Amino acid sequence: MKILIAGFQHETNTFAPTKASYKSFIQGEGFPPLARGLDVMALRDVNVPIGGFIKAAEANGHELTPVIWAGASASAHVTTDAFERIGGEIIDAVRQGGFDAIYLDLHGAMVTEHLDDGEGEILERVRQIVGDRMPVVVSLDLHANVTARMFRHASALVAYRTYPHVDMAETGERAARILERLVSEGRPLQRAARRVPFLIPVNGMCTLVAPASDVYGLLEGLEEEPVVSVSFAPGFPAADFPECGPTIWAYSFSQEAAERAADALFEKLVAEEARWDVPFLSPDEAALEAIRLSRTAHKPVIIADTQDNPGVGGDSNTMGMVRALLKNGATDAAVGLIWDADAAAAAHRAGVGARISVALGGRSAVRGDAPLEAVFEVEHLSDGRFRFDGPMLNGMQGELGPVACLRIEGVRIAVSSVKMQVFDRNLFRVAGIEPERMKILVNKSSVHFRADFEAIAETILVAKAPGPMAADPADLPWERLDPDMRVRPLGAAFHSLQPVEG
């Protein structure tokens, strides 16, 4: 076959402080930087879905037409300019024709300044050009908020099965197999979909532990002939629109088989709703527990500063956990990353060994957060260039701009000029911090860090420090959620939380 391929990924937190501009996608911000044409083919060796698809398609002798691939760190809305420029390139290529099928590497939770459903819009524009018969297969992130519009215009949707997302390339390979199956059968797949009636905290979605590990184990068991594919997207619980939330779906050439598979997974989820709840620690509780455990630990105690995770829309600059570590006398502790280009520039001007007075971070505008005004020692400087050696983006090059390690009392702080989630140990090393040698590590991440850090962790604590991404979705100021959606496991339905008029 001749297959057109393209990718456009963004996870949108509509409550976050900073939007995703076109520049965000050029930089990548933890994703590969924007690539066009044949440069997209270089992603074949990167753990992203399009990489897996390219390898599988090439192995089977298909001819690929690469258009564009763009991704940016989770944030508030994608600007209209960025959406229309990147999405426009995809649509223009589709219009030119000359291919037999389409594969798109999308996220599934993109909200733009002018659209609730970025992926649904792209798919509808594509379908208007190619008609109903052409196969259009799409891979989605595990955190997709899957919409009716996406289902309507895609021939098949297939989602990741791991969080941390170590199976991104594998998901692209599965998309390639489904595309070939569609073509060989010459008929459309039948679909059964179920919307789960409660929002799931991001921290509860980790597939390394129950209940998510149990659900995905059942999912894989259900994917046997005549069932072609089963997916479960727990959703991204920070997008304020009616179709936000978890979704289960199954494909088969038999409608009855698809319905049975979707029902089996749905029944397990709703029967075990209470298991999806997550306990959190306050900053002081997390700091004190980490200090206590570190006294006898042989490995670092890791604290997930989950509410400022740039992977879900935080800006990676809140200072709540830094203050808690200092207040409680932590030693041999490191925090990463604090995104503060001004502080990094001041450190580079001063040089290693200098003491500088800066107001570090604290620009989130979140109640309870403020810059930390203090004197810091500059311990290390670098240009911020590094390689990902962890499981998620293994082998890819990363750039953080000028980076500094600033020390205050017993706490080292990795400061970057580009925003990026800490899901690879090398994000500490580029700041001169060896993570394995620290007693305490604070990671601006929710779950992805586990892929590379769990092997070196004595234990992992989850802190609910002030930040723009509420770890408990019930804490968010929802306005447009589905009225029947429960705002957390075993929580109240959204309609019951609305004020009564009159």
**Per-residue pLDDT averaged across 234-254, rounded?**
98
DSSP 347-369: HHHH-TT-EEEEEES--S--TT-
User: Can you say how many angstroms the Cα of residue 376 is from the centroid of all Cα atoms in its chain?
Assistant: 32
164: how many CB neighbours lie within 10 A of its CB? 25
The phi-psi region of residue 384 (left if phi > 0; otherwise alpha if psi is between -120 and 50; otherwise beta) is left
Reported confidence tier of residue 502, pLDDT bands at 50, 70, 90? very low
Reported confidence tier of residue 279, pLDDT bands at 50, 70, 90? confident
Q: pLDDT tens, 76-129?
A: 999 999 999 999 999 999 999 999 999 999 999 999 999 999 999 999 999 999
Distance CA 164, CA 449 (A): 7
Reported confidence tier of residue 501, pLDDT bands at 50, 70, 90? low
Q: pLDDT tens, 170-199?
A: 999 999 999 999 999 999 999 999 999 999
Distance CA 328, CA 288 (A): 7
CB 448 within 8 A of CB 423: yes
**Per-residue pLDDT averaged across 382-390, rounded?**
96
What pLDDT, on a 0 to 100 scale, did the predictor assign at position 238? 95
Spatial CA neighbour of 248 closest among 198, 203, 207? 198
> What is the helix (H) or strand (E) element at residue 180, kind and residue range?
helix 168-185
User: Can you say how many angstroms the Cα of residue 175 is from the centroid of all Cα atoms in its chain?
Assistant: 19
Which tokens go with 308? Answer: 């400022």
What are the φ and ψ backbone dihedral angles of 162, each rounded to 5 degrees? Answer: -130, 145
**Per-residue pLDDT averaged across 419-434, rounded?**
97
Distance CA 418, CA 351 (A): 20
What pLDDT, on a 0 to 100 scale, did the predictor assign at position 365? 86
Distance CA 213, CA 277 (A): 15
Looking at the DSSP bridge assignments, the partners of residue 377 are 355, 407
Distance CA 289, CA 308 (A): 20
What pLDDT, on a 0 to 100 scale, did the predictor assign at position 497? 82
**Per-residue pLDDT averaged across 212-226, rounded?**
97
Domain ranges of the chain: 2-276, 283-471
- Thinking of the domain 2-276, which architecture would CATH place it in? 3-Layer(aba) Sandwich (3.40)
Which tokens go with 129? Answer: 């050009």
